[in-house]
Amino acid sequence: MIIKRKTQIILALIVSSVFFFQNCASIISGTSKRRFPERKQGDIVITKKDGHEIEGELITVKPNSLLLLDRYGRDASIEIRDIRTIRIVKKSKRGLGSLIGGAVGLVGGMVIAVTSPGEDTSIYWNGLILGCLLSIPGSVLGGIAGAIVGIDETIQIEGMSDLQISYALEKLRKKARIRDYK
């Protein structure tokens, strides 16, 4: 009887926390149903050999050039031979990682409380306190992991062989809005 009651309580806590954290994660990541953000594929920053930087969304990868849409809505075609570096800008996932890490710590503390032996109700409160305490390092570690995932990637084009450039362009093609341009 007591085990069945503990199981019902833990399932209710897990289900409610999953729904809560899912809603928080959708708000943080910008995929909330209330907003319709513009769909962007790949933001990149190109540094040309003369030192100029061009920032924008990668539209397509042509055989000898890249087509970008800058923030003013203009198209820019940049020849591959004029490029020094290409930086792929990634969104930081620090908030989402922190939220997930905190949820894991909280649910872990609740599971420990429910699976511990005894019939005393103070065990549940101790488990909730333990879950709250575990959510703090969980959210810190999750935030660090999210920040690491969001580190920008730089491709050094200048000095590459033609084969290496073709591999780099294939990687960029996956980030482009139009992937199968011919």
Most confident of 21-25, 49-53, 128-132: 49-53
Residue with token string 């590459």 = 160
43 with 132, same domain: the answer is no
Strands 65-70, 75-79: parallel, antiparallel or unpaired by DSSP?
Answer: antiparallel
48 with 138, same domain: the answer is no
* pLDDT band at residue 121 using 50, 70 and 90 as cut-offs: low
Specify the number of domains making up the chain.
2
Which pLDDT does position 141 carry in this prediction? 83
Which pLDDT does position 26 carry in this prediction? 58
Tell me if residue 119 falls in helix, strand or coil.
coil
Residue range 4-23: mean pLDDT, rounded: 65
For residues 123 and 99, the answer to whether their CB atoms sit within 8 Å is no
Evaluate if residue 11 carries a pLDDT over 50: yes
Q: Which helix (H) or strand (E) holds 148?
A: helix 122-149
How far is the C-alpha of 18 from the C-alpha of 4, rounded, in Å?
A: 21
Tell me if residue 59 falls in helix, strand or coil.
strand
79 with 42, same domain: the answer is yes
Sign of the dihedral defined by the CA atoms of residues 32, 37, 42, 48, in that order: negative
Most confident of 15-19, 58-62, 114-118: 58-62
Of residues 92 and 2, more confidently modeled: 92
How far is the C-alpha of 109 from the C-alpha of 75, rounded, in Å?
A: 53
18 with 96, same domain: the answer is yes
CATH number at residue 177: 2.30.30.100
108 with 97, same domain: the answer is yes
133 with 103, same domain: the answer is yes
99 with 144, same domain: the answer is yes
Evaluate if residue 3 carries a pLDDT over 50: yes
Stated pTM of the model? 0.57
80 with 103, same domain: the answer is no
And the tokens for 81? 């031979």
* pLDDT band at residue 12 using 50, 70 and 90 as cut-offs: low
Query: What burial class does residue 61 get, using C-beta atoms within 10 Å of its C-beta: 0-12 exposed, 13-18 middle, 19+ buried?
Result: buried
16 with 57, same domain: the answer is no
86 with 100, same domain: the answer is no
Which pLDDT does position 171 carry in this prediction? 85
Nearest partner of 68 among 53, 84, 54, 80, judged by Cα: 54
145 with 97, same domain: the answer is yes
Q: What value does the mean pLDDT of the chain take?
A: 76
Range of the domain at 75: 38-90+152-182
Residue range 124-141: mean pLDDT, rounded: 79
82 with 129, same domain: the answer is no
